[in-house]
Amino acid sequence: MKVFEKLLRSRSLFGSLSILILWYVLHLAIGSKIIPGPFETIVTFFHLMTGSLLLHILSSILRITVAIVLSMGIGIPLGLWMGLSKRADSFISPIAYILYPIPKVAFLPLFMVLFGLGNSSKIILILSIIVFQIILAVRDGVKEIPKEYFYSVATLGLNRWQIYSSLVFPAVLPKIMSALRVSIGVSIATLFFSENYATTYGIGYFIMNCWVMVDYVEMFAGILAMSLMGTFIFKAVDWAEGKICPWV
Amino acid sequence: MIRIRDLGVKYGNETALENIDLDIPKNKTCAIIGPSGCGKTTLLYTMAGLIVPSSGKVLINGEELKSTRKETGVILQNGGLLPWKTAWDNVALGLKARGMDKAEINGKVSAILEELGILEHRDKYPNQISGGQRQRVSIARTLVLEPDLLLMDEASSSLDAINREHIQNLILKLYMKNPATMVMVTHSIEEAVFLGQTIVIMERAAIKHIIENPYFGDEDIRTKPEYYNICLEVRKWLSKELSKEEEDK
Residues A161-170: contacts with CB within 8 Å, 24+ apart?
A162/B96, A162/B97, A164/A80, A166/B82, A166/B85, A166/B93, A167/B82, A168/A80, A168/A83, A168/A84, A168/A142, A169/A80, A170/A245, A170/B82, A170/B84, A170/B85
As its CATH architecture, domain A44-244 has Orthogonal Bundle (1.10)
| DSSP assigned state of B198 | E
Stated as kind and residue range, the H or E segment containing A186 is helix A169-194
* Residues A170, A80 contacting (CB under 8 angstroms): no
pTM of the model: 0.80
Residues in chain A within 8 Å Cβ distance of B72:
155
Q: In what order do the strands lie in the sheet with B198-203?
A: B72-75, B149-153, B181-186, B29-33, B198-203, B206-212
Q: Of A153, A154, A247, which has the smallest distance from its Cβ to B83's Cβ?
A: A247
Binary contact (B94, A156; C-beta < 8 A):
yes
CATH 3.40.50.300, chain B: domain bounds: 1-11+20-71+148-238
Q: Which is it for the CA torsion A153, A156, A159, A161, positive or negative?
A: negative
Chain-centroid distance of CA A9 in Å reads 27
Does residue A131 register a pLDDT over 70? yes
Binary contact (B82, A159; C-beta < 8 A):
no
Q: What is the model's pLDDT at position A160?
A: 86
Asked if B76 is an interface residue toward chain A (Cβ–Cβ < 8 A), one would say: yes
* Residue-by-residue pLDDT tens, chain B, 249 positions: 899 999 999 988 888 899 999 999 999 999 999 988 889 999 999 999 999 999 999 999 988 998 888 899 999 887 789 999 999 999 999 999 988 999 999 999 999 999 888 999 999 999 999 888 898 899 899 989 989 999 999 877 777 777 788 888 888 988 888 889 999 999 889 899 999 999 999 988 889 899 998 888 888 888 888 888 889 989 988 887 666 666 665
A46 burial type by CB count under 10 A (0-12 exposed, 13-18 middle, 19+ buried)? exposed
Taking the CA of residue B224 and the nearest CA in chain A, the distance in Å comes to 37
| DSSP assigned state of A197 | S
Q: Among residues of chain A, what percentage have pLDDT more than 90?
A: 46
CATH of B1-11+20-71+148-238, one of 3.40.50.720, 3.40.140.10, 3.20.20.70, 3.40.50.300: 3.40.50.300
Q: What is the ipTM of this complex?
A: 0.83
Break chain A into its structural domains and give their ranges. 1-31, 44-244
A–B CB contacts, 8 A cutoff, strictly below = 60
| R_g (Cα) of chain A, nearest Å | 22
**How far is the C-alpha of A103 from the C-alpha of A43, rounded, in Å?**
38
* Residues B126, B78 contacting (CB under 8 angstroms): no
Asked if B52 is an interface residue toward chain A (Cβ–Cβ < 8 A), one would say: no
Taking the CA of residue A172 and the nearest CA in chain B, the distance in Å comes to 11
